[in-house]
């Protein structure tokens, strides 16, 4: 079985306050985008995990794909499998690649071992692996609240728009991003999203990220200057994306993607 875990961008991301449990309360609109890793999952005699493509730091057991397998092995009648992850989505980029990979392991095991778990159960399992993971069970465009696991599908289509995505090869760790986040409880901008009005959206992580890495602010401005009707940093960074009505310029830089939504 071969699957293609997608990336996501945050059309807006408000960090509202720090909760008593140590997590932060957020509100965000997340959108799946056509940039994918490649995941192969096969039944096997013994468990094996192989990873190629971009280098993922850490030992095997710390990889989210392996954690997803161990979770399913613990809860359900799941036998050994061969997992091969071809990593294409950059890490520390705010694109949710690791979360997507882990969730797609859950989806693959559910199908491969005929567990017949429904989406709600899979979302609950995914939320145990990470705050963004549950989004990838259904994908599409969803409003995300709580610590990211409270999801509601949004009737918003980005079909026909072009997205230019720029990854400047800067890794911004999630812990660092939250330590320096500027809280913003004004979520009124989301009310206009159904009319495809993006003007009221913000990303609470941009202020610190743009101060530490001024080149990120310059990338965002360059996308707007090129004709993007909306541009923002995705997640806690460092990828910057712009949405265009007409196809923007494309070049040979491996860290710049232009995709049709």
Q: Which of 68, 36, 69, 81 is nearest to 54 (CA)?
A: 36
Mean per-residue pLDDT, 22-36: 94
Residue 143, pLDDT > 90, answer yes
Give the domains, in start order, of the chain with CATH numbers.
2-153 (3.30.230.10), 162-260 (3.30.70.890)
From the candidates 8, 27, 87, 220, give the one annotated as an active-site residue.
Answer: 8
Judge whether 132 counts as a catalytic residue: yes
Residue 58, pLDDT > 90, answer no
From the candidates 37, 132, 164, 220, give the one annotated as an active-site residue.
Answer: 132
Residue 166: per-residue pLDDT: 96
Percentage of residues of the chain with pLDDT beyond 70 = 100
């Amino acid at each position: 079985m071969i699957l293609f875990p997608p990336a996501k961008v945050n059309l807006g991301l408000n960090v509202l306050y720090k909760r008593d449990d140590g997590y932060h309360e957020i509100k965000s609109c997340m959108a799946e985008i056509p940039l994918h890793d490649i995941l192969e999952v096969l039944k096997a005699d013994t468990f094996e995990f192989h990873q190629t493509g971009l280098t993922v730091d850490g030992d095997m057991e710390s990889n989210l794909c392996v954690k997803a397998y161990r979770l399913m092995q613990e809860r359900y009648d799941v036998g050994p499998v061969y997992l091969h992850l071809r990593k294409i989505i950059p890490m520390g980029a705010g694109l949710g690649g690791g979360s997507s990979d882990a969730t797609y392991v859950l989806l693959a095991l559910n199908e491969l071992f005929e567990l017949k778990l429904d989406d709600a159960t899979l979302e609950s399992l995914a939320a145990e692996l990470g705050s963004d993971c549950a989004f990838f069970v259904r994908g599409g465009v969803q409003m995300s609240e709580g610590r990211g696991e409270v999801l509601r599908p949004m009737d918003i289509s980005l079909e026909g728009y072009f997205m230019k995505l720029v990854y400047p090869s800067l890794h911004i760790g999630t812990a660092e991003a939250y330590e320096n986040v500027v809280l913003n409880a004004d979520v009124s901008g989301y009310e206009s999203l159904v009319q495809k009005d993006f003007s009221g959206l913000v990303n609470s992580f941009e202020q610190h990220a743009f101060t530490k890495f001024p080149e990120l602010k310059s990338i965002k401005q360059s996308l707007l200057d090129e004709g993007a009707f909306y541009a923002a940093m995705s997640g806690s960074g460092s990828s910057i994306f712009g949405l265009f009505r007409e196809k923007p310029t494309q070049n040979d830089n491996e860290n710049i993607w232009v995709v049709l939504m």
